[in-house]
Structure 1
Amino acid sequence: MTKSVNLLDLKIKSKYQLNELLSKGQGNEFILTTFVNPFSYNVLLAKPELVGKMDVILSDGSLHKTLHNLFNPNKVDRTSFDFSSLAGDVFSNAEENNSKVVLIGAKPGLVDIAKSNFKEMYPSLNIVLTHHGYFKDEAEQEAIIKLADSCDPDIVIVGMGTPHQEYFLVKYSQIASNYCQLYTCGGFIEQSAIKADYYHPLIKKLGLRWLQRAVMHSHVRQRLIKDYPRFVIKYIAAHLRNRLISKAPKK
């Protein structure tokens, strides 16, 4: 548990650190970026082999960010893949540089609605391929990866939920031959099919994104009631235990 916690916490970076890595990469490597929140933290904690494959993990949510900064020296900001945070930068840069974008995720049909909404916001955005996030088997998943790779994308955005989306990023980097930026985005594609800029401006200003999601989605309410309190207790207990271990005299 101690090693898993340390590995995950060390992988968590700031948006500035991500931008530094992207500028150094310059299309010469795959850069795998995912996000962690009070729900996905414990999921990823149980999969250190998956965490180790990620280049950058960003803190998606004020609760996780606050606890991370309380217990860790590497201070981070809240960075989510939505239009209150990172998505706007990714799409604006893609539009400016005529980057090829692949969208994979959400239920069948919704990804194309999301694409139309994105194109309304970013008319020159070059989305070269879309596909929903459901595969009947591994062979179909590999076929979609090869199809996406044949488009020579610069950016691949995947929304399948944790840990499926992280496994997809790893498999993509193993199969594809054209280097690109790989992002997970959780429910961003499905949310964007409801409305391009999903969050109300006042909600974004007040930092109440969790409240809007809870009102609109029952599974979010369940996570707030069950998973978030469990996360806080387990997180604090694990990090206090790590501090005690680190301060204990060595024999």
Structure 2
Amino acid sequence: MWSIVTQNIRFCGLPLQDSFSGLERAKLQRFGHCLAGLISRVGLHQLSGITVLKPYDLIEQQVSAGRLAYLSLLVRGGLSHFFFYQSSTELKEPEQFTLFGLTIHNHSMRFAVEWVLSTATMKKTNIKCKLGYFINVNSVNLTVNDPVLRDRINRGDRCFADGSGMRIAAKHIGVRICENVNGTDMLPYLCVAAQKTKKSIYMLGSKPGVADKAAQHLLKIYPNLNIAGTQDGYFRTEQTPDVISRINQSCADILLVAMGSPIQEEWLEKHAAQLTCKTALAVGGLFDFYSGNITRAPLWMRELGMEWIWRLLQEPKTKFNRYVIGNPLFLIHTFIFNRAKRGFQS
């Protein structure tokens, strides 16, 4: 605080922590006249778990913004510090940890995408399709009363921490989650990587026409992307062998399954051995976002971990139980979990 009084640093300014590459550091020299600050766009994204692949762009936007944007950043930064900040000496960053009985793999977005691509590159020699799940507040609420689902998720090959709720809960057990690894944010990075490595993607799930629409949208952005095929999730049980046959005949490397929990996890585990694709991800409502049926929350809401409010406003009937009832329920589970953990340690 004394540094602010003496004007050595500002409330909002350049990031205090130097985590830039040599090239980025060289580019930042043009901002040499700017002071460092307690709050920055880069730091805000890191604090809330949003992937930062181009920190220079965030800094350029921050420096060129006006006073109103400065005040907005100050407020967002203050709130984000209140919800998410904890001293680095108090938090560990393990590669894997257990939360609510679920095994979470603590990866960055870059590492998660590399895992998907690396498994998709493996030669299929009697190796079961690798399964990846995104674990969020709803996942926890479902598994608390459903040990079958919990065990099914734990048998997956990767479970990524998805959302601010998981970040807050992990903080209470002394764990820092690297980044918010969710399917919606992952897909653009996955598409870019799939283009470069010439890996194909099959999209299974959602209502009729939604996967097709999402695929068309993605191809406009990533024209060299190989989408091996699409299939809605509204097929009868007796049609499952035909659906699996079409997926296998497409020679897809990566399968995205958007059926919602717990259906998608059950479907994937039941049929993983029959699939010839190397990797499959359970992605929930992902296709709705990329089809344009549902819009993504503004960035400032995501920075504050409030994306769920945006979803609730768009789909009040279908999301009421998940958010209005589910979020307080998750906080209760977190409280009980913490009390039990302290009692066990004492």
Q: Check whether the contact 2:104–2:161 (CA below 8 A) recurs between aligned residues.
A: no
- Cα-to-partner distance string for 1:166-191 (whole Å, 9 max, x where unaligned): 11221331212x24121111111022
Partner of 2:164: 62
Deviation (angstroms), 1:73: 4.0
In structure 2, how many angstroms separate the alpha carbons of the residues matched to 1:226 and 1:142?
A: 37
- Matches for 1:109-148 after TM superposition, within 5 Å: 109-137=209-237, 139-148=238-247
Q: Check whether the contact 1:100–1:127 (CA below 8 A) recurs between aligned residues.
A: yes
**1:231 aligned to 307, 324, 330, which one?**
330
Is structure 2 residue 266 aligned with structure 1 residue 167? yes
In structure 2, how many angstroms separate the alpha carbons of the residues matched to 1:227 and 1:196?
A: 20
Q: Check whether the contact 2:135–2:161 (CA below 8 A) recurs between aligned residues.
A: yes
Partner of 2:285: 187
CA distance 1:89–1:19, change in 2 (3 Å):
closer
Structure with more contact order per residue of length (Cα contacts < 8 Å, sep ≥ 6)? 1
Q: Which runs of 5+ in 2 are unaligned?
A: 1-97
**2:112 aligned to 4, 8, 18, which one?**
18
Instruction: Indicate the SS of the match to 1:93.
Output: helix
- Cα-to-partner distance string for 1:22-46 (whole Å, 9 max, x where unaligned): 4764424532111121112121342
Is structure 2 residue 310 aligned with structure 1 residue 215? no
Q: Check whether the contact 2:194–2:200 (CA below 8 A) recurs between aligned residues.
A: yes
Which one-letter code corresponds to 2:122 in the other structure?
Answer: G
In structure 2, how many angstroms separate the alpha carbons of the residues matched to 1:220 and 1:173?
A: 29
Deviation (angstroms), 1:93: 0.8
Is structure 2 residue 151 aligned with structure 1 residue 52? no
In structure 1, how many angstroms separate the alpha carbons of the residues matched to 2:117 and 2:207?
A: 33
More divergent stretch after superposition (68-77 vs 179-188): 68-77
In structure 1, how many angstroms separate the alpha carbons of the residues matched to 2:314 and 2:332?
A: 26
- Matches for 1:141-160 after TM superposition, within 5 Å: 141-160=240-259
**1:101 aligned to 179, 201, 211, which one?**
201
Cα RMSD, aligned residues only:
2.6
In structure 2, how many angstroms separate the alpha carbons of the residues matched to 1:192 and 1:19?
A: 18
Deviation (angstroms), 1:21: 4.2
Q: Check whether the contact 1:112–1:130 (CA below 8 A) recurs between aligned residues.
A: yes
Deviation (angstroms), 1:127: 0.8
Which one-letter code corresponds to 2:266 in the other structure?
Answer: Y
Q: Which structure would you say has the larger Rg?
A: 2
More divergent stretch after superposition (62-71 vs 196-205): 196-205
In structure 1, how many angstroms separate the alpha carbons of the residues matched to 2:239 and 2:324?
A: 36
Q: Check whether the contact 1:59–1:78 (CA below 8 A) recurs between aligned residues.
A: yes
Q: Check whether the contact 2:255–2:277 (CA below 8 A) recurs between aligned residues.
A: no
Which one-letter code corresponds to 1:140 in the other structure?
Answer: Q
Which one-letter code corresponds to 1:194 in the other structure?
Answer: G
In structure 2, how many angstroms separate the alpha carbons of the residues matched to 1:27 and 1:242?
A: 40
Q: Check whether the contact 1:105–1:159 (CA below 8 A) recurs between aligned residues.
A: yes
Q: Which runs of 5+ in 1 are unaligned?
A: none
| TM-score, normalised by the number of residues in structure 1 | 0.83
In structure 1, how many angstroms separate the alpha carbons of the residues matched to 2:230 and 2:141?
A: 30
In structure 2, how many angstroms separate the alpha carbons of the residues matched to 1:165 and 1:78?
A: 21
Which one-letter code corresponds to 1:51 in the other structure?
Answer: I
Deviation (angstroms), 1:155: 0.8
- Cα-to-partner distance string for 1:3-62 (whole Å, 9 max, x where unaligned): x95640x23432365356447644245321111211121213422331232111112211
Q: Check whether the contact 2:132–2:282 (CA below 8 A) recurs between aligned residues.
A: yes
Partner of 1:27: 122
In structure 1, how many angstroms separate the alpha carbons of the residues matched to 2:193 and 2:174?
A: 31
Partner of 2:341: 242
Instruction: Indicate the SS of the match to 2:290.
Output: helix
